[in-house]
Structure 1
Amino acid sequence: MSSTALTSDSTADRIRRRGLMLVLSSPSGAGKTTISRRLLEQNPDVAMSVSVTTRQKRPGEVHGRDYFFIDPAEFNLMVNRGQLLEYAKVFDNYYGTPREAVEQSLRGGHDVLFDIDWQGTQQLRETARTDLVSVFILPPSAHELERRLTTRAQDSAEEIARRMAKANDEMSHWSEYDYVIVNHDIDDSVIAIQGILDTERLKRERQVGLSEFVRGLQAGF
């Protein structure tokens, strides 16, 4: 083995990266689910945070992959036991992020992708700000947002109208996020968010052991 390889291995052992929580939020229909799927395909080392929810499954959804579908009584137990990093009520249903799996991933240097709303993001900001990177995704226009909701054919006309009415409130929180992307084009949006992820991974505060490594360099090691 070459001295270069030995040095590289030694550096990797001495500097480890703490994982980050990449949060994507948007009004329903703005494209975050598609963007999330593309990011996961490009980054096999990123895990999707699977939320628990009290809502009913939609066609094609799988328990444990899309959500953990539980009843309100079980959800309340998880809240009372402190088993959720964040939780919120959205459209008369509750959603929350199980704590244990996320914290284990971060300690192991793995990133976790979140598809949550502004309420959950606020809670994460209060409890885990240094681990959080938040991105808000805006639609290019209200007309395009309504078209996307209608085209995906997952909701009734009444539900689409309800989601459009809710969108204004959701979009009012855009300034609370670290980054904002206007999703004119899925490919461009994925490239932009991948760039954010790559940059945030290199931040000084996420390099565990970096201070000791630099002191070693200064001492001639």
Structure 2
Amino acid sequence: MACSMCGESDVTTFEIHHIQPYSDNNEHEEENLILLCSNCHAKVTAGEITENEVLRLKISLMKGNNSAPQQKSQSNNVLNFNSGVNNGVVANKVEIKTQKKFIKISAPEGTIASSANHRNYIKRLIDRYHEFKTADVGKVKMKYTIIYGAIKKEFGAKWDMIPISRFERLVVFMHRRIDNTILGKTNKARNIKRYSTFEEYLQKYGS
């Protein structure tokens, strides 16, 4: 089994990525899923690998091109998942056959991911932090994955898997990270708005 993006097979963890965010449709459609190693998944989440790149790769794979952009030479072993059954064969080429087109799995109840409004607001703050931090250090030196690691270290979970009961604390954390950037400090001193409140976000974008 190998990562669809980098072709690396010598990894400990593979993750399924939703090309279109799960919170947008709450469905696991096969055409919207792609298997990535944890490193590539982090880069996609951070924006280092764009959604368009992932989408082009998925379309290529659906057309029968099984070579990842940076894929190494692989063997032709085949792993069949017939109706979701894993026969225990470790292989580099994966063929998935399912009888159902849609597999619907709800986000864990009580997490930020279970609420589109809460999840989208936090993602908006993360994007805002990236914008301000990039203004500080420049695009070349910008490391998009750092904030995700900082959140996990502070809260003990991936940002959207944090209990919704700790949402306000996460908001304060993100506001502080934005305010502590050079641009954030400058705008704060000039009384320039750095971010919208959750209530303001709901008034404009809430469903």
* Higher normalized strand content (fraction of residues): 1
- Per the TM superposition, whether the score is higher than 0.5 is no
TM-score by length of 2: 0.23
Higher relative contact order (CA 8 A, sep 6+): 1
TM-score (norm 1): 0.22
